[in-house]
């Protein structure tokens, strides 16, 4: 009489075989950054233009973008004479919209948007590497005191997000 316990299930052999096949044929994935800019290594980031009534935003945004590029290290920040390419930006709008309301029609939470036209171009031939019109980022704030102190953290958040977006556009390989 045949002992059923001594007979092995085909699954015992099949599961490791399928797992091995999947490992061998798996797609290759890399986390290395590929630059859209090819051989460009030295960039200049001049002060962004500001067509809004929001004072001081161009300095804050420009400083934040420079900081992101310095921290990332893929490009060297240099002056115009040494630069291969430039990040050129124009802040075109700072907009607010109410996103939450208290009883009645009083705004309880506001979304602050920054809108920027930005391009990454070579310095010598003015060839556009990438360009984005109406790039938008935001920060939210609660209306607590009704003063600008409520608004400041949202503006900082929107500026940080914009700087991240500009860096990501510049270093992405796709």
Alpha carbon distance 32, 75 (integer Å):
15
**Bridge partners of 139?**
112
The C-alpha atoms of residue 122 and residue 118 are separated, in whole angstroms, by 13
**HSE (CB half, 13 Å, CA atoms) of 23?**
6
Spell out the per-residue pLDDT of the chain, length 174, in tens: 555 555 555 555 555 555 544 444 443 333 334 455 578 999 999 999 999 999 999 999 999 999 999 999 999 999 999 999 999 999 999 999 886 666 666 667 889 999 999 999 999 999 999 999 999 999 998 876 566 678 899 999 999 999 999 999 999 864
Rounded CA separation 142/158 (Å): 15
Cα separation, 46 vs 66, whole angstroms: 9
For the chain, domains (ranges, CATH) are 36-171 (3.30.160.150)
User: Considering the entire predicted model, what is its pTM?
Assistant: 0.74
| pLDDT confidence of residue 15 | 57
Would you give the DSSP letter of residue 166? H
Helix or strand or coil: residue 15?
helix
Buried b / exposed e over 66-86, threshold 16 CB at 10 Å, is bebbeeeeebebeeeeebbbb
So what's the pLDDT on residue 103?
67
Residue 70 and residue 64 in contact, taking contact as beta carbons nearer than 8 Å: no
b/e burial code for range 18-42 (CB count within 10 A of at least 16 → b):
eeeeeeeeeeeeeeeeeeebeebee
Beta strands in 7-84, from DSSP E residues, in sequence order: 42-44, 49-50, 76-77
């Amino acid at each position: 009489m045949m002992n059923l316990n001594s007979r092995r299930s085909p699954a015992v052999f099949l599961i490791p075989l399928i797992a091995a096949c999947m490992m061998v044929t798996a797609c290759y994935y890399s986390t290395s950054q590929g630059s859209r800019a090819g051989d460009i290594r030295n960039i200049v980031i001049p002060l962004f233009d500001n067509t809004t009534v929001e004072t001081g935003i161009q300095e804050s945004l420009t400083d934040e973008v420079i900081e992101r590029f310095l921290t990332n290290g893929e490009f060297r920040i240099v002056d115009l004479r040494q630069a291969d390419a430039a990040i050129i930006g124009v802040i075109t709008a700072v907009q607010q919209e109410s996103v939450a309301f208290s009883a009645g029609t009083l705004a309880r939470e506001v979304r602050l948007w920054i809108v920027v036209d930005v391009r990454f171009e070579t310095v010598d031939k003015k060839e556009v590497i990438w360009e984005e019109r109406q790039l938008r980022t935001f920060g939210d704030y609660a209306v607590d005191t009704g003063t600008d102190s409520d608004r400041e953290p949202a503006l900082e958040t929107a500026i940080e997000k914009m700087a991240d977006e500009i860096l990501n556009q510049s270093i992405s390989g796709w």
